Chains A and B, each alone.
Chain A
């Protein structure tokens, strides 16, 4: 079952970034190459996903050092699904960037850094070694630092200060947790850790370590008390960057949490209750925060936080059913959140403003585009049969089965708040008559070249089609989510394959 192919998504993104670096001076060529390379990488990840789906978990050891001594790469269904979805999001953002990212940013290596970012994401999804996970996290954050600051506007730098500080802090905490885990067990391989952590006598210290991991990943995924950097920074960079951040970066934290708390640490009652309480608070603060925002992207940033709560709740209930709900939500959320930030970009291009009060009349002026934009909005709100509905249904069912009615209530409440927020967005931007016409010298959507218009609309169509598939093909996705969830709740197969017995 050894297959070196699985590090190809990482290597290929590295290759893409290097190729793009060689085209430093020619931005038109960078655009075309980036889109083509993203297409190829989508094909690669689809191939790996199909392989893993058919044959089961594939693992490879760097330099043929036997696990647990070397660095392991593992592609189970969870990792390969995440890699596939991040390639999808990467392709969409790459296409969208060609039209919306200005020359002042492209000239400073926007595209290479974008590919480095996706390389880091793929690495984080595929690695089976906890220190290696730390290294990939660092690659992700340094690439995201560059993306968030590139262009150097005042708001960007202010947002970046908060973003950089919180991420550096999170890395330090993560590193501390790794140090303690290594001190307790003497191992870094996640499969091996899974066996060894269970044998450690000093349970108090194990719990402290688990908490440190929870806080470290919690900052990255913006859970309740640690979320404030996200709405302060996500609306400052260009829309394409917001899209990849909103779609993927917080979800890596959720991925790592799902991985660590199913594989390495066992969920006891304390941890499970703590995660549930935090999940509820996250849903609540995110939802209520979104209610009062007038800036579209700030509103969406709060919705990201709100929906992280759903996934954490799925983790907290820690049954196979709730995991499958959380996983379905994760898959759906990456696609839809990326798409919705791109939609925000389109709204900005058409209305010339991000402010709900100033925008309006979009349905009257662009009816077809409005219908297209309705798809991600409605999927996010969870209107059946679109993709947001099914994972919520599963989560609600999971909370019923566990008789956890508090969680049940808050999931429903947060869904209603989301629906209300999006209805407000729809009413303000699409139905309201436009009162404030922005100044005439604004570069309007109709002034874009047809080619650029296509590059802005195509990724939205592409992602909307995928979220339609996620909703209408619910049985297939649900099967996948269920399979991943069973792998997560019983990791013995994963451990056997990695350790090679």
Chain B
């Protein structure tokens, strides 16, 4: 799991550093998923021990899985889904308007003679 997260982060950063806009989005998605899995891992995964109190007890006596990381990941997934959907549409629109997929061509707004 730790290795997979590492691979996701590395691949994400590699993709962000590419010049293509599509790869940029894929990279950001990888990074987001890597972060989600990281929460999962650092929240101490416990297998097969749901945090449910049996009806004849009032406390959990055994080791149990922490439900909080799952709630966090669920929230983070929903958020990143929305943001990625927006980013993909933005890339599509930017491609239509600027007519290039190459980030190096997108430097018009940085030029000094640029009229805003």
Contacts and interface: CB of A to CB of B under 8 A. Distances in A.
Interface of A: 131, 134-135, 138, 141-142, 145-146, 149, 152-155, 157-162, 164-165, 168-169, 171-172, 175-176, 178-180, 182-183, 186, 188, 231-233, 235-236, 292-295, 297-298, 353-355
Contacts of A149: 90, 93
A160 to B, nearest CB: 6
A152 B93 contact: yes
Contacts of B116: 155, 235-236, 295, 297-298, 354
Interface in B87-108: 87, 90-91, 93-94, 97-98, 103, 106, 108
Nearest to B29: A168
Shortest beta-carbon contacts, A-B, top 6: A183-B42, A179-B39, A175-B35, A157-B94, A172-B31, A179-B38
Contact of B90 (A160, A182, A294): A160
5 contacts: A138-B83, A159-B109, A164-B87, A297-B116, A353-B115
B39 A175 contact: yes
Contacts of B115: 295, 353-355
A126 to B, nearest CB: 18
B39 A135 contact: no
Given A141-B83, A176-B35, A355-B115, 13 more contacts: A135-B75, A149-B93, A155-B109, A157-B93, A157-B97, A164-B87, A165-B16, A169-B16, A175-B32, A178-B72, A183-B41, A231-B110, A236-B109
B14 interface: no
A39 B79 CA distance: 31
A158 B86 contact: no
A161 B42 contact: no
Main secondary structure of the interface of A (DSSP, over half): helix
Contacts of A145: 83, 86, 90
A175 B38 CA distance: 9
Contact of A169 (B28, B82, B114): B28
A160 B83 CA distance: 13
B110 A232 contact: yes
A159 B111 CA distance: 12
Nearest to B30: A172
Interface in B1-42: 12, 16, 21, 24, 28, 31-32, 34-36, 38-39, 41-42
Main secondary structure of the interface of B (DSSP, over half): helix
Contacts of A178: 39, 72
Contacts of B97: 152-154, 157
Contacts, number: 125
B65 interface: no
A491 to B, nearest CB: 24
Contacts of A168: 28, 32, 83, 87
B86 to A, nearest CB: 6
Nearest to A293: B112
Interface in B35-57: 35-36, 38-39, 41-44
B45 to A, nearest CB: 11
Nearest to B13: A169
Contacts of A294: 112-113
B115 to A, nearest CB: 6
Contacts of A188: 68, 72
Nearest to A297: B116
A298 B35 CA distance: 34
Contacts of B114: 155, 295, 298
Contacts of B110: 231-232
Contacts of B76: 134, 175
Contacts of A159: 109
